[in-house]
Amino acid sequence: MPFSFFGITPIKVLKDIGILKINLYLCNQLEQSSITSYGGRRKIESCRENSQKNMKERVFSVNSVQRNLFYDEKVVLDDGIYQDIRHCYDFLKTFAEDRIIYGINTGFGPMAQWRVDNQDLKDLQYNIIRSHATGAGEPLEDVYVKASMIARVGTFVQAHSGIHPSVVETLVKMINAGIYPFIPRHGSVGASGDLVQLAHIALTLIGEGKVHYRGTWRPTAEVLKENDIKPIQIYIREGLSAVNGTSVMTGISIVNQIYAEKLLDWCVISAVWMNEIAASYDDWMSERLNVCRRHTGQQAMAERMRAVAQGSKRLVKREHELYAQGRHTEKVFRDKVQAYYSLRCTPQILGPVYDTLTAAHQAIDEELNSACDNPVIDPDTNNVYHGGNFHGDYISLEEDKVKIAVVRLAMTTERQLNYLFHDRINGILPPFLNLGKLGLNYGMQACQFTATSTTAECQTLAMPNYVHSIPNNNDNQDIVSMGTNTALLCKEVIENAYQVMAIQMIALAQATDCLAITDDLAPATRAIYNKVRDICPKFVEDTPFYEEIANVIEYLKK
């Protein structure tokens, strides 16, 4: 996950600590795990090697999709990918003759026991699309829809769906033209994948439904015609393949991951800035302290904090202040010997979040480059395999973990805010960072209400959704992942956490001005101070904050 502080951090730091070392970390974990004996490790490596032999090269990643979503990079597939898709299609076209294959000449779900006559096979594919476009609720924002569309391409390019290449071509053209299908929030139980929400994408692929194009909702057929894009045709199983899989929950999770990783970076900056405000002893982030605990995340967070803190004149050396003999003879110390937990324990608090995001990043990358269709068409073995690659458990479980981790970030930030606002706790700042007349003015008092209530909502939403399976579909789907609901709840928690962090950034800037320590900050935190003050200048008289909070959120997410 990219890690930068507006060009201040040295390039070496960016390389050494800025990128999630996913593969190395996981390999180390496998090596050290007592569960995996030598024989067990050999089996794991053998499975991994066989898997890599059978899988296509990865086309997408969270990082590449980030460029598609936020930097207007186009989705481009090389000719070899289309050739593989065509090869799979040609194989299925021959293989499907005179064979019973689910969803090609049978009904869907519990209706699979009924054979469909040959003259009705094209209607069967159109029916699965139209009958399942039943979503409800507010539409997903464009960025989540675009990510979901890219995730669907990620499944198709595995060349295990048996679809005509024109389906992929049309989907890529729509993505690059900024044509986004109407996808309602509700509808998926995450078991046969995101049937309902993907049906809304598929509906637009056949030229029906509506799309969001240049800020306006319009009939799909009109927009496709304007862009010289032809709706797809049905050949064999294009309808089922378009609606079957985990692409919507994966798309939402990609955006969640991008924002969660950014939020963690902001928490690292906030941790250092908080300790600069408090003039803390700097050994809380020292290398020798943190290497004593064998957790990759904790050590990575401490290393990042040391990088951010370089050049600070506010952090105190314990060996200079407390360990110098004869310097302190008083019985009661004026300054705290150890800072509060929300300041001092930040490597230990943020470390598990880092590890959680590392695991989620890998899981999303793998899902993004997986065939999450059913059945799976495999020309290499001349077979069609029926199973459950559409089941969203990987995404659902990871998004629950990300959600809980982000709630922890919000909780930590809220406690740091309390330190800044509570004059009897910090002992150095006016109540609520109020630079006006006490009693007449209120500073950021009401901002704390917002941060506290938002954090409380996050805590309520932290309940794992992965365990909330409800059987449905005539008990055909007797256990489901609820992956899309989980990803949507995670999305909501991340949005809330950014609101709390925005208030924290304004408070840190105000606290810096209360103490008049701007010139003593580390260059990294000073740069953030300047950015925040461009949005929200120092205030003495009471003023509304809602616009400044919104603008800081926008800045943080960029």
Instruction: Give catalytic residue positions.
Output: 102
Largest separation between any pair of C-alpha atoms in the chain: 97
- Assign 186 to helix, strand or coil: strand
What percentage of the chain's residues is helix, strand, coil (to nearest 5)?
60, 5, 35
For residues 366 and 344, what is the distance between their CA atoms, to the nearest angstrom?
A: 36
Instruction: Compute, in degrees rounded to 10, the torsion defined by CA atoms 417, 423, 427, 433.
Output: 70
Is-contact 285 309, C-beta < 8 A?
yes
Contacts 24+ apart (CB under 8 A), 443-448: 443/510, 443/542, 444/503, 444/506, 444/507, 444/510, 444/545, 445/421, 446/545, 447/417, 447/503, 447/506, 447/507, 447/545, 447/549, 448/417, 448/418, 448/421, 448/503
In the structure encoding, which two tokens stand for residue 165, read together? 């290449």
Rg of the chain over all Cα atoms, to the nearest angstrom: 27
Sequential DSSP letters for 2-20? ---STT-S-HHHHHHHSS-
Tell me the HSE value of 449 on the side-chain side, using a 13 A CA sphere: 7
DSSP E strand stretches across 70-112: none
DSSP code for 60 = -
For residues 365 and 58, what is the distance between their CA atoms, to the nearest angstrom?
A: 9
**Cis geometry, peptide bond prior to residue 110 (ω within 30 degrees of 0):** no
For residues 231 and 221, what is the distance between their CA atoms, to the nearest angstrom?
A: 8
Backbone angles phi, psi at 240, to 5 degrees: -65, -45
CA 337 and chain centroid, separation: 38
Contacts 24+ apart (CB under 8 A), 154-157: 154/59, 154/60, 154/247, 154/250, 154/368, 154/369, 154/370, 155/245, 155/247, 155/370, 155/371, 155/372, 155/373, 156/85, 156/241, 157/56, 157/59, 157/77, 157/81, 157/84, 157/85
- Assign 394 to helix, strand or coil: helix
